[in-house]
Structures are given as C-alpha cells and as structure tokens.
A and B are shown apart, each in its own frame.
Chain A
Amino acid sequence: MLSFPRSFEFVPGQVIGIAMDPADKPRLYSIASGNCENVVRILYTVKPEGKLTPDLARLHAGDTIYVSEPFGGFVCDEQEAVWIGTGTGIAPFSSMFYSGLAKNKTLIQGNRYASGLYFSEDFEKEMGQRYVPSCTREKVDGIFYGRVLKYLSEKKDLDTSLKYYLCGSAEMVVDVRDLLIERGVPFENVVAEIFF
C-alpha cells in the first residue's frame, strides 16, 4: 500500500495517475481511502515486469512521486447495492466504505489468499453479514472457498432489482456480468470498472 498526504478533493471510486517522473506515462490507480481522510491510500501489486510497481515498492518516506488530479466516473450513490471487488479491485469500494457509503451495501470481496483481503477486519466489523469474503487458494473458517462467481452462482436468493458494481480483472468482471444478466439483472444495473 502507498500513502501520501491528501491535497485534493475527490469522489469515492475515482482514479489518479501516478508516475515517478513527470515525463513518464502515468499509471492509473483507484483511490482506496475515504474522501475525508488526511491521507490518500493506493493499493498495488508488485509486478516484476511492471513499469511502475517495482519502483513504488522501493519508495521510502519522504520520496517524491507525481500524482494527477482525480478523475473517473465509477461512483455510487446512497441507494442499496452490491459491491463486488477482487484483488486490488477492492480499492474503489474501500474508498466508498471509508467515505460512509456502506450503510445499505453488500460487499463481496475475493482474493487468492486470505492475507490479501485488504481492510477485511474493518468491513467485517461494520458490515457484519453484509460482508462476504472469499478465497480461491486456501480454505479458511468463515471465508467462502471459491471464486466470487461461484458464490454468486450458488446464491439462490440473488436480488435482481439491485445495482451491482464490479471491479477487478477483466475476466472476473465479464464472467460475473454475464452471470448477473443471465440471472435476470438488467444490464443497465451492472456497473463495471476495469483494470488496464
């Protein structure tokens, strides 16, 4: 996780561009922190072949990075809805959560291992039964074993009247969107964010 002092306003769900040098092409990351916090937090996974994350992993307190204005329209209102995020795709939802938008939401979080279920303690504490963690590579008590797609496909009482917000890999987003549409959720109620 990368954090730095907040110097701008943003809407939970928005992204920022980050670069190590003004001449570099910025990479986009969803903000993971709340819009009233003093710091901005970013989740990232180090990819050895990546153009930015190896450098981010080497940063020390006090080092300089370049950050764009926040932008993007993956935002949600106060209506009841379901959030589905896998891996670092949890970031926009954690931002919404820490901005006070979780009151009538259900959050389904997926990751390979339980150690990568970022912010799960906070989610569980505040959301209780409305928080569903899942892992694909290890069996842990209290955590659904399998993909979020499996969880949803096994869910008998899927509410098709709600809005579903998805963020994660292209494969997860497309598979879950197809499933929701197949189960009767109108496609205009499936709001998808992608990583690229």
Chain B
Amino acid sequence: MEEKREALFGKTLSQLETIVKELELPRFTAAQIADWLYKKDVTSIEEMSNLSKAAREKLTTRFEVGLSDTVKVQTSVDGTKKYLFRARNGKFIETAYMPERNRHTLCVSSQVGCKMGCLFCFTAKQGFQGNLSAGEILNQIRSLPERHQLTNIVYMGMGEPFDNMDGVMQSLEILTANYGFGMSPRRITVSTIGIIPAMKVFLEQSTCHLAVSLHSPFEEERRRLMPIEHVYSLTEVLEAIRSFPLGKQRRISFEYIVFKDLNHSPRHVKELARILNGIRCRINLLRFHPVPGTPLQAPDDATLEEFKTALENKGIVTTIRKSRGQDIYAACGLLSTKEQQVI
C-alpha cells in the first residue's frame, strides 16, 4: 500500500517556512503555499501554479494538500446537516452545520471520541480514538459545501478541545491569521469542560470566545455528571477565569444542560448567582437530549423558561439554546461515530 504523504493543509506559516527551508526552496514560497491552501481552495500541489515546476515536484515527494471530502450527510427537518468526515487514521468524525436566517454556525470536532466520560454525552460512549490534527479540524470547515456561508465556528463537536491543545491552537491560528482564513476571533467559540492549565494558555494566547460546561453549581453534583470535577474543580475553574483580564469584546459563556428534576431548583439559581458574581458572562441553557444508557431525563419547555426567568431575575444574562438536528442525532451531546462502518 502506498504510504500516505504528510498533509500541508493545517500547517502554520512558520511550519511552512521550515518546510521550504528543508527543501531548499526560496523563503517566499511558504507564503505562496499558505495563500494557495487557505485562500485559493486548491486541492493539489500541482494547482499551485506560481510555484516553479521543480518546487512543486520537491513538495510532492513528501507532501500532499491532504483534504478529505465529506463521506456522508444527513439533513434534519430543521435544516441542520450532519456531515461525516474520515480522519487520517481511518476513523470517522462528525460535524454539525446549523443554518439560521442571519447566522450559519458550524460545530467542529477536535478529537475522535472523547476521554472525559461525561454521564450525559453520547460521544463519551465511544471512548477515545485519537486527536485530530489542525488540518483535520480545519478540513471540516474547508471541505464543507456551505463553507462560504459560514458566519460562526464553535468547537463543541466530538472531543474535549483542551485535551488536544496542539491541534486546536494551531487551527485557531490559521483560522484567524491574515495568511490563513482571516476570520474574526469574535466569530469563534471554544468550549471546554474546564481543563485549567490548557484553559489558561488559551485565554493568554487566543482572543476567541470561551464557553465552559457548567451543568451544576454544586461540586458534588457536578462530579457525578462530569468526572473532570475530581481533577479540576469548578471553584478553581472560576478562579482561573476571574484572574484573567478579559477585555470588553471577549465573551465568556457557561453552557448549562438542564436535566429534569436535577439541576434547575431555586437552590441552583441562588448558587449560580453566588458563584458567577463578578464574572461578566452569560448562561446558555440547553435542553438535555436523552442518550441510551443514562438515567437522566429531558425537562419540558415550561421548566426551561421558568429557570431562565429565575436566573434573569438574579441579574444573569440567560439564553435558551435551540435544539437543532435532534432527529439526525446532531444535537448537543449526540455526536458519535462508534458504530460507523468504513465505506
């Protein structure tokens, strides 16, 4: 079997400079390659027509562009599309595209599976099969048929982004750099369950928005839902956020999945108000989407509305995130490629 060549797509400008130096090509070739990769949508090195033939041949000996087309798409009654991509290790990942009137959001995956074992998440049930490279993360955007309509990117698909810092930070650089996709960091949100050391690096080195999975203000209750609480407690996560100057443009949001009869009582409202005091933030409420094997249940609409109102009465900006793509298992917490067969 022919050995797979290394992918150029997903390399930062400085990595491309190292490559062209190794291949003894002119230094400016790196910027030309970046331009072809991230602005001109080429799929092969041969198409990089302002590179000399010799340069293209040298590059081809070791590299390929390395894009991967969508393997499958499912469309929800609400217009959400769930795309399946093949990662370079042969495994599969899912990406959810959610079009609305003025906002077209793509929810990208950062890992194949996940290690975090959250009780309410379907991805957790497939275990962990590997990190995605920056190229594999960006490929979900680049190879999306609707890529030119995208307005927002959220790192909320399969995997914990801060458990794959190399791939995620590199992809964020390319997404936001002038040599790359040139996207505003204000259009990008990275979500974490609260891996503190990585979260601090992200807050220092990126200006993208941050979302933190909260789900309960009580540590013991959160621990039962999210094993990460054993290692990095919510108190420490909030302390780390408080200690960082966020500026006016940057947004911190807390994702809060509402479970029936579990985490929406007046006691929860009071405690949320107490622990979030002093943090300029908002809470996004999400209805729980039941997954097989969990004892948790979904709340009704009235419960969500009451909880939202109670939080707003405490001065917390609160939104209810619409459930999208539930019928095709594309909604929050439902992505999984465990049963996916190679096609």
Residue numbers in B under 8 Å from A102 (CB-CB):
none
When C-beta atoms are compared, the residue in chain B nearest to A195 turns out to be B115
Residue numbers in B under 8 Å from A71 (CB-CB):
231
When C-beta atoms are compared, the residue in chain A nearest to B121 turns out to be A174
A191 to B117, CA, bound (A): 11
B230 at interface by CB-CB < 8 Å: yes
A 152-196 contacts with B by CB, 8 A: 169-171, 173-175, 177-178, 181-182, 186-188, 190-196
A190 to B227, CA, bound (A): 10
A188 to B163, CA, bound (A): 26
The distance from the CB of A191 to the nearest CB of chain B, in whole angstroms, is 7
**Does B293 contact A28, Cβ atoms closer than 8 Å?**
no
**Does B230 contact A74, Cβ atoms closer than 8 Å?**
yes
Q: Which secondary structure characterizes the binding site on chain A? A: mixed
A73 to B228, CA, bound (A): 10
Given known pairs A192-B117, A194-B115, the reply for A15 and B231 (CB within 8 Å) is: yes
Residue numbers in B under 8 Å from A195 (CB-CB):
115
Residue numbers in A under 8 Å from B223 (CB-CB):
73, 191
Residue numbers in A under 8 Å from B195 (CB-CB):
196
The distance from the CB of B126 to the nearest CB of chain A, in whole angstroms, is 8
Residue numbers in B under 8 Å from A73 (CB-CB):
219, 223, 229-231, 233
Given known pairs A72-B231, A170-B124, A181-B295, the reply for A194 and B117 (CB within 8 Å) is: yes
A191 to B230, CA, bound (A): 9
Residue from A28, A173, A188 within 8 A of B224 (CB atoms): A188
Residue numbers in B under 8 Å from A72 (CB-CB):
230-231
B197 at interface by CB-CB < 8 Å: yes
A 64-100 contacts with B by CB, 8 A: 71-74
A178 to B224, CA, bound (A): 13
B116 at interface by CB-CB < 8 Å: yes
Number of A residues with CB within 8 Å of any CB on chain B:
28
**Does B114 contact A187, Cβ atoms closer than 8 Å?**
no
Residue numbers in A under 8 Å from B115 (CB-CB):
169-170, 194-196
A192 to B121, CA, bound (A): 15
**Does B230 contact A170, Cβ atoms closer than 8 Å?**
no
When C-beta atoms are compared, the residue in chain A nearest to B291 turns out to be A178
B119 at interface by CB-CB < 8 Å: yes
B89 at interface by CB-CB < 8 Å: no
Residue numbers in B under 8 Å from A193 (CB-CB):
227, 230
Residue from A174, A188, A190, A192 within 8 A of B125 (CB atoms): A174
Residue numbers in A under 8 Å from B119 (CB-CB):
177, 187
Chain A residues within 8 Å of B, Cβ to Cβ: 15, 25-26, 28, 71-74, 169-171, 173-175, 177-178, 181-182, 186-188, 190-196
A-B contact pairs, 14 of them (CB 8 A): A28-B231, A72-B230, A169-B128, A170-B127, A170-B128, A174-B125, A178-B125, A182-B293, A186-B295, A188-B224, A191-B223, A193-B227, A194-B227, A195-B115
Chain B residues within 8 Å of A, Cβ to Cβ: 113-117, 119, 124-128, 160, 163, 195, 197, 219, 223-224, 227-231, 233, 293-296
Supplied contacts A173-B117, A173-B227, 15 more A-B pairs, CB within 8 Å:
A15-B231, A26-B197, A28-B231, A71-B231, A73-B219, A74-B230, A169-B127, A170-B114, A174-B125, A175-B125, A177-B119, A178-B125, A188-B224, A193-B230, A194-B228
